[in-house]
């Protein structure tokens, strides 16, 4: 079963704008990870945030985690055409090691 659910399902923005997507999950977690998937390719790991962390940055990416609301957000700042991809959150439940992926958010960056 899919533990995480991303919102929105799809997002279209202009180059240079920021893109925000959210992930909600159901049970306690060890960590939450975000991945990117370009069309026809495998998933690429972006950021891992542990359950005791609240915010993490990597280049133009910012991830927040609110364990009280069981939610996370991924912000991409100053988007580029190359950011066009599907973004997935993945969670590792607190009592299990298995990583479960959501259905993803498809981001389209228009030039």
Residues forming contacts to other proteins in the complex (CB under 8 A) are 2, 30-31, 33, 35, 40-45, 48, 50, 88, 90, 92-93, 96-104
Exposed / middle / buried, residue 68 (Cβ in 10 Å: 0-12, 13-18, 19+): exposed
- Give the pair of three-digit tokens for residue 25: 């999950």
For other proteins, the closer of residues 90 and 109 by Cβ is 90
Smallest distance, other proteins to C-beta of residue 64, A: 18
For other proteins, the closer of residues 15 and 37 by Cβ is 37
- Look at residue 83 and give its three-state secondary structure: helix
* CA distance to 44, 81, 96, per residue, from 2 (Å): 19, 29, 14
Smallest distance, other proteins to C-beta of residue 29, A: 8
Smallest distance, other proteins to C-beta of residue 111, A: 25
């Amino acid at each position: 079963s899919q533990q995480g659910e991303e919102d929105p399902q799809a997002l279209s923005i202009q180059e240079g704008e920021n893109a925000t997507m959210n992930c909600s999950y159901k049970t306690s977690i060890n960590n939450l990870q975000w991945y990117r998937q370009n069309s026809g390719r495998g998933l690429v790991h972006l950021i891992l945030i542990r359950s005791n962390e609240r915010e993490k940055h990597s280049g133009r990416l910012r991830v927040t985690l609110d364990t009280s609301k069981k939610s996370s957000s991924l912000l991409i700042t100053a988007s580029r055409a190359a950011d066009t991809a599907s973004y997935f959150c993945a969670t590792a439940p607190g009592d299990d090691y298995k990583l479960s992926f959501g259905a993803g958010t498809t981001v389209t960056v228009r030039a």
